[in-house]
Structure 1
Amino acid sequence: VSFIPEGYHSITPYLIVNDALKALAFYRDAFGATEVLRLADPQGKIMHCEFQVGNSKIMMAEGCEEMGALDPHTIGGSPVSLCLYVEKVDEIFQQALAAGATEKRGVQDQFYGDRSGTLEDPFGHTWTVATHIEDLTQEQVDQRFAEWMQQHGGQ
């Protein structure tokens, strides 16, 4: 028996949301998620579920104050952001917006070799959706970062 279940990675995000059924539908429509597992109470409240996006699994549950599991809307936002690599960032970004996400930063080419944009899903989680478009050496990234910092006033 492996210490990591088959199909999982060392780190697996666990999202807390205020409506897991709606969240599953959003992640399906926005990112092509497929449901892997669902454990619900007799009233249908999702206590734990798992879905897959690309080659990664994500765990999710309804918020539960008694267990200290609070969704971003309850606590006023989330300091955590998820990065999702996809083949066609512009298409998936627009798909997520159409499914109900809110744009935080539009899709654009980045100095570090990705094309990416950032959005917030309807459940308060932040996602950066990206496509890797250029392999760079660390020296190239450092140089481009210095140029970027100079253009943006050291911000």
Structure 2
Amino acid sequence: MAFEPNVPPIQAHICVKHGLAAIAFYEKAFGAVNTFHQMSEDGKRVMHANLALFGGEIMLHDEFPEFGMSISSPKTAGGASVAININLPKPDDVDQAYAKAMAAGASTVMEPQDTFWQARYARIQDPFGHIWALNAPVAKA
């Protein structure tokens, strides 16, 4: 039986430099499952990939400036313009996901902490420049 991700109504499609390395990072850091990827004709860049993670899916591709694509990786653009928010069921899940991402090579933007909006929350930056927010509800005091 093939893996069938829960494809949400809104889905991130991210651009990276070094797509195969990005896929390997997301597999290690987030437990992502590579459900599909297609290499470009040059055999070096990922034309399209689907990764199932945290019950949803992201798509990714390498940069293709020669085709006039206006989407650049955060490394080329000078930083990320959005954060990808991962909603987790329990506060401990935030700490565990954060630790796993750190061990895989992510960097800290915001360490896990309880917030005023009643969530356990952390932000990391992956080695490709994307910002990931990890969020879970905490019990109200």
TM-score, length of structure 2 as denominator length: 0.86
CA distance 1:128–1:44, change in 2 (3 Å) = same
Q: Are 1:60 and 2:50 counterparts?
A: no
Runs of at least 5 residues in structure 2 that lack an aligned partner in the other structure: none
1:96-135 matches, cutoff 5 A = 96-134=101-139
Separation in 2, partners of 1:38, 1:24 = 9
Counterpart amino acid of 2:36?
L
Cα distance, 1:72 vs structure 2:
0.4
TM-score, length of structure 1 as denominator length: 0.78
Larger RCO of the pair (alpha carbons < 8 Å, separation 6+): 2
34-43 vs 115-124, greater mean Cα deviation: 34-43
Separation in 2, partners of 1:9, 1:96 = 23
Partner of 2:84: 82
Separation in 2, partners of 1:59, 1:72 = 15
Query: Alignment partner of 2:102: what SS?
Result: helix
Cα distance, 1:85 vs structure 2:
2.1
Percent identity, aligned pairs only, is: 29
Partner of 1:12: 11
Runs of at least 5 residues in structure 1 that lack an aligned partner in the other structure: 1-5, 137-155
Structure possessing the higher radius of gyration over alpha carbons: 1
Q: Are 1:47 and 2:52 counterparts?
A: no
Runs of 4+ in structure 1 deviating by more than 3 angstroms, as ranges, are: none
- Aligned pairs, number: 131
